[in-house]
Homo-oligomer: A and B are copies of this chain.
Amino acid sequence: MRRQQLIDATLSSVAELGLKATTINSISKRANLSSGIISHYFGCKNGLIEASVRYLLSSLKTELLSSVEDSASSQQRLMLIVEANFSVVQKNAHVTKTWLSFWAESMHDEQLHRLQSVNAKRLYTNLLYSFKALMPKQKAIQAANYSAAMIDGLWLRAVLSKADEFEFSKAEELAKQYVNSLLPSH
């Protein structure tokens, strides 16, 4: 309970202030807890940061798993993957900014980089799995690569332009159309 309270406060602080300006204090105040509690539960500040990223990753995973039903078609799956990658935003608008902060930091933090790596590969793997059901392997690999890049690219440009919710859903729509355009039925 306390752990989740602190993770939420961390995400909120990173979203609002940025990773650089997020301090033990900015976090503990948002959680209405003392500063000492953080090292008590997470060892150190970095431990909390890492746990927060893990939480975001597992949310994304849960999001996807819960929405995809066994009966879903491959095309439906693809749409749900796109949705999941954009939906984190729609639920909690400011969480988006945190991703970028974390990924930038991951370039200089081995632990974070590992998590980022898992995330990047998962998007690719999920896409590949569905594409393979619809086309030859070589084509599917290319489709997965392009789709992953397009999803991340649209997302990145939306974030950096400080897009509002409406613009975000437009970016999501574009991503879906692109993925659809790769399908043989198209």
A37 within 8 A of B: no
Interface size on A, residues (CB 8 A): 35
Q: A20-B20, A100-B104 are in contact. Are A152 and B146 (CB under 8 A)?
A: no
Q: Is the interface of A mostly helix, strand, loop or mixed?
A: helix
Contacts of A178 in B (CB 8 A): 146
Contacts of A150 in B (CB 8 A): 146, 149-150, 153
Shortest beta-carbon distance from A43 to chain B in Å: 14
Stretch at the interface among A52-60, A105-113, A127-135: A105-113
A-B contact pairs, 5 of them (CB 8 A): A106-B160, A120-B157, A120-B161, A151-B153, A152-B156
A116 within 8 A of B: yes
A33 within 8 A of B: no
CA distance A107 to B113 in the complex (A): 21
Within 8 A of B (CB), among A163-186: 174, 178
Shortest beta-carbon distance from A108 to chain B in Å: 4
CA distance A150 to B150 in the complex (A): 5
Q: A120-B157, A120-B160 are in contact. Are A19 and B18 (CB under 8 A)?
A: no
Nearest chain B residue, comparing its CB with the CB of A113? B162
CA distance A162 to B161 in the complex (A): 25
Structural contact, B149 and A108, CB atoms closer than 8 A: no
A90 within 8 A of B: no
CA distance A104 to B151 in the complex (A): 18
CA distance A58 to B34 in the complex (A): 34
Central interface residue in A108, A161, A178, by most chain B CB within 10 Å:
A108
